[in-house]
Amino acid sequence: MTFTLDSHWVWDFWLADDGDTFHMYYLHAPQSLGDQHLRHRNAVIGHATSTDLSSWTDHGVVLEPGAAGDFDGTATWTGSVVAAPDGSWRMFYTGSRFLSADSHANVETVGVAESRDLHTWTKRPGPIAVADERWYEVLGSSSWPEEAWRDPWVFPDAAGDGWHMLVTARSATGDERDRGVIGHAVSSDLESWRVRPPLTAPGAGFAHLEVPQVVEIDGSVVLLFSCDSPALAGSRAGGTGGIWAARGDSPTGPFDLAGARLIADESLYSGRVIRARDGRWVLLAFENATSDGGFSGVLSDPLPVELVDGMLALSHSEAGLA
């Protein structure tokens, strides 16, 4: 069954697996706002658990915005969770700060919270990583209405050399419409982070590459990200957006964005791939649109995926796990 809340919209989410239970952290906002576009300014992070990725138990809100003027003073947005070497868990999340109620201008930065049990989270002072104008577009350097530095995806270095953070970001150079890149930061200890140049180049046809995830399946490295139709640029402009996959040489690239393929149209968005208990890889996403063009705001059932010629694709032989 899909995950839904009676009186709230649900959209971006991320997952952690403690070995026994899957923990999902999700953005939600009240439908009483009336306009679904206002959900972004009112997002808080909820928590649900499951043993099968299909039936979920909701545990309510675990993280809320900070005080006015804080880096996360408007809303808490998308992130990821990793197990730290000291036995704790770290949630890296996006702090959003809109400059005013009547403006789309906002600054996005990365914060972190800590937990011992994946249920109770304590924020640490932040932000811990911000866009570096040497390589990345910042608010006011173009007509783009946001300083994009969001959706942190954190994972350990394959060779044991610290940690990597992939971020939805925009290049400081290139055609203004086509500046979407995968931002990069590194850390030796999960505490102090150094922002590095982007892992991809602008001009790949995406104004932004949202909710990035890198997954290794059967020896193939795949970069998963989302970009909707209005944010397609260059030769991709006018096409269909949704959830995309691109081959990678390693978890930090290079990534073949020129060969990126759409694996699900934008009726689904913010896709995440995870391995189910039976060993199969599945995709979860939020349902982005209703048949009448409205916003659905619920999460999908898990959809099996497979590698086809080294590229991630939905498996059409099965409808799901249930």
Q: Is the domain 8-314 a CATH 2.115.10.20 member?
A: yes
pLDDT band at 309 (very low <50, low <70, confident <90, very high): confident
- pLDDT on residue 4: 94
Of the given ranges (40-44, 237-241, 297-301), which has the lowest mean pLDDT?
297-301
Residue 318 above 50 pLDDT? no
Mean pLDDT of the chain, nearest integer: 95
Q: Mean pLDDT across the stretch 292-312?
A: 90
CB neighbourhood size of 105 (10 A)? 14
Residue 1: predicted pLDDT: 53
pLDDT of residue 320: 41
DSSP string, 19-53: SS-EEEEEEEEEGGGSSGGGGGGG-EEEEEEESSS
Over residues 10-39, the pLDDT tens digits come to 999 999 999 999 999 999 999 999 999 999
pLDDT tens per residue across span 50-101? 999 999 999 999 999 999 999 999 999 999 999 999 999 999 999 999 999 8
What string of DSSP letters covers 76-98? EEEEEEEE-TTS-EEEEEEEEEE
pLDDT at 322 over 90: no
Q: Are 108 and 96 in contact (CB under 8 A)?
A: yes
Pick 317 or 284 by higher pLDDT.
284
Note the pTM of the prediction, 2 decimals: 0.96
The model's pLDDT over 159-202, given as tens digits with 9 standing for 90+, comes to 999 999 999 999 999 999 999 999 999 999 999 999 999 999 99
The radius of gyration computed from the CA coordinates of the chain, to the nearest angstrom, equals 18
Mean pLDDT of 223-230: 97
Distance CA 136, CA 232 (A): 19
Q: Parse the chain into domains and list their residue ranges.
A: 8-314
